[in-house]
A and B are shown apart, each in its own frame.
Chain A
């Protein structure tokens, strides 16, 4: 996938007099809560409008808003990465897209829209994955704003930016501003890699995804969701073999809906609908324009304050709940000393002497503060279990039956890695 830079005819146009009347009021003079380092006037405007380079990750619900806000705030060199194409269900909030754009890459369409609406702003889109880019790519930016719905992608960019920090080079520290929403709720936070709490530090704050035990799905279904899971987890592979379930294919959803409805009828369970089927199999999170607007504005406001020093910035977590009145909570989330990304200390874990490697892996998968899907384990130079490559998997498979205590001494360390994460986790094992 290639990077395309769309040059904008109006980009060379001079700023018209009065264009920044509003923004300049806070750039021309300090306020009572402005840091002394603030260079009021031309200096800060020159940096913001001519030198600052900002990366936006995600061109979806938050991304569209973020791009528009940054452009109006005076950022002129904006890059945006998104691997998705536009779907009709995006149009209720992703306001840079129109029905004619369905199927096109979000990054490209969003970039073109911003450049046509806000003269003089250059938006460089990349239609692809954040993992395609290397350290040098990320090093070119002053700031990174993240508007993603994927936990995995956020963990990746967070770890990448933490690893990028070189104590000898202050420029290598890239503030990361992260936003997320769900329905009328959302949060925005500022992460100063290695200095403040990072995304990984707060992993245990995420809601645990609802998982239905297989035995419930197979034997004692009670809810419509159980019937839908039965259709997608058990029946789909049984009937369709290796054919992959495509949750964006209406025919596939239609099939699941039909199978789930039949099972529900058999067990006299009510409530299987098309919408619920789609919601369960795609893990759909409700999303509206207004909440995205609030959280994206909060992220961009922090980016603006950090880039200009015109006012103190968020330290470091803003949480909003809009379901019952307007309730928000602003607090400093604390760094975790045993954070696998920014902490440096090993996580202490006490387990039974009888625990097998197999069960130990299950325990790891269930831990909310670790959230790892297919962990590989080693201790020092000793391989305990590796998910891949195949040869290594086969060679280490017999260890699954052994107890951890056979392989690791009390107080010994286990290193956990996973292909989805750009970091490893150290566990110090104690036996009860």
Chain B
């Protein structure tokens, strides 16, 4: 390398980052998914798990490894020979007779030095009967409950539903190859959903700088190299303008029109292999699919607010209302705020960088306008800039889920009837697991007949249940009513941990409804969503 060239590099790279520290290296493969913000949320999380079963420790393993802040295993039982056989986080037969929570905690903690873990050998049912106990349970950021007795899980769910500020509850039930799980929350808001759909490029409503660029581009005065490097964004804006001028201001609608439009784009090529025009043809679909406000975001804008003061999502709702104001602002673009992220395109460096700069600049202007609206409409809500920036940047992908209390689905006759029709296998498995809890609660023998009777009572005597599916469910449950199989436990451990991570980081989208797992057919399905 030449002397001055290497000096240039030194100067240009004076602000380089050093090699990442050991924590970043350890977490590298997950930071690529949820970044430092998600990691910080995980590290702040305090998770209560209400048993030391194989399923429970499997969930915890998958939360300790990525580095949650704290976990407590609440379990009053001693290790049985059966636990020593199916649970990887016990010291095999050496743990038999010792408190299960205390045996499991050190083996989980050794997976990650930075995680704090506590064994609590008090009885959950007793705790739920005292104000101090209830306060203790409600003080965590997330509660996970596997195969609790029916009355205990109902009490726990009732308690945690009482206040939207109480932690979400994940209820998981399993028997042999069958299982289901549910996340109880009032409302869950996601800014970073990591949706893979591309944000709008404003091709049908270009901002002034973009329109000016398109207007000043004259195909005929460009040399062949320049012509082959016009970004597809500019080509499409020009062609759309031309089309509108010739079609009373309308864009191509019918399939034949769209085809004609694409042909017109391709006909602009001066040589056969101008890739930018081929790209413009392929991207033309954006002209008739891109919306100023995508329909799922529009649905959120139209959503009536929950009692906002009591919501832990005050900031999100303030941002949502501001978004509504931004979209209807007569001085604004009438769309969601622009996202600065550009896809790669066939063009030269200079045009691409210039285009990127224009999108960035426009996004900055709209971001400033959004924040003005936010301050004007919500002077009392404190929202830091980083949160508002993230919201504006992800406005195309925001999500809001509303939930119901655990068990509400099974009491909703209309929802059940429709679910039995749409997803009989999953619905019956869910009802079967409800029935199993009920039969086990009264210490009766678990037989297909007993389970069928419970299910029939739950749906109402007059409802006809699909015979084959019913038989498959009740016979399989009666075969292994108390089996916490190692593979089922590991499968659920992964599923629940994925969902817990989504709940805690508020990134990606957690499941809404009862996720039913059948490890014979190797299927999952969701029923009972709101």
Contact = CB atoms under 8 A, between A and B. Distances in A.
Interface residues of A, number: 91
B490 A296 contact: yes
Give the one of B20, B54, B347, B522 with max A CB within 10 A. B522
A325 B509 contact: yes
B194 A323 contact: yes
Contacts, number: 280
Interface in B339-379: 344-345, 347-349, 352-353
A137 interface: no
Contacts of B20: 274-275
A330 B479 CA distance: 24
A184 B353 contact: no
A411 interface: no
B344 A223 contact: yes
Interface in B39-64: 54, 58, 61-62
Interface residues of B, number: 94
B88 A258 contact: no
Given A72-B86, A298-B491, A328-B524, A93 B26 contact: no
B519 A301 contact: yes
A18 B82 contact: yes
A140 interface: no
B225 to A, nearest CB: 10
Interface string A26-69: 10011111000000000000000000000000000000010011
Contact of A324 (B352, B475, B509): B509
Nearest to B473: A32
Contact of A18 (B58, B61, B81, B88): B81
B37 to A, nearest CB: 15
Contacts of B62: 288-290, 293
B65 A289 contact: yes
Contacts of A22: 54, 82, 85-86, 482-486
A398 interface: no
A392 interface: no
Interface in A314-331: 314, 318, 320, 322-326, 328, 330
B9 to A, nearest CB: 4
B520 A33 contact: yes
Contacts of B72: none
A73 interface: yes
Interface string A82-120: 000000110111010010000000000000000001110
Interface string B1-35: 10000001100110011111010111111111100
A36 to B, nearest CB: 15
B483 A326 contact: no
B144 to A, nearest CB: 13
A92 B486 contact: no
B495 interface: yes
Given A285-B29, A286-B30, 14 more contacts: A10-B92, A16-B84, A22-B483, A23-B485, A117-B91, A274-B19, A289-B61, A289-B62, A293-B61, A293-B62, A293-B497, A294-B495, A322-B508, A325-B510
Q: Which 6 A-B pairs give the minimum distances between C-beta atoms?
A: A293-B494, A18-B81, A294-B494, A21-B82, A297-B490, A72-B486
Interface of B: 1, 8-9, 12-13, 16-20, 22, 24-33, 54, 58, 61-62, 65-67, 80-82, 84-88, 91-93, 96, 110-112, 176-177, 193-196, 229, 344-345, 347-349, 352-353, 471-472, 475-476, 479-491, 493-495, 497-499, 501, 508-512, 515, 519-524, 526
21 contacts: A16-B93, A21-B80, A22-B484, A23-B486, A25-B482, A26-B483, A31-B177, A65-B490, A93-B65, A93-B66, A117-B92, A119-B92, A261-B12, A262-B13, A285-B29, A289-B494, A291-B498, A297-B487, A301-B491, A311-B177, A322-B495
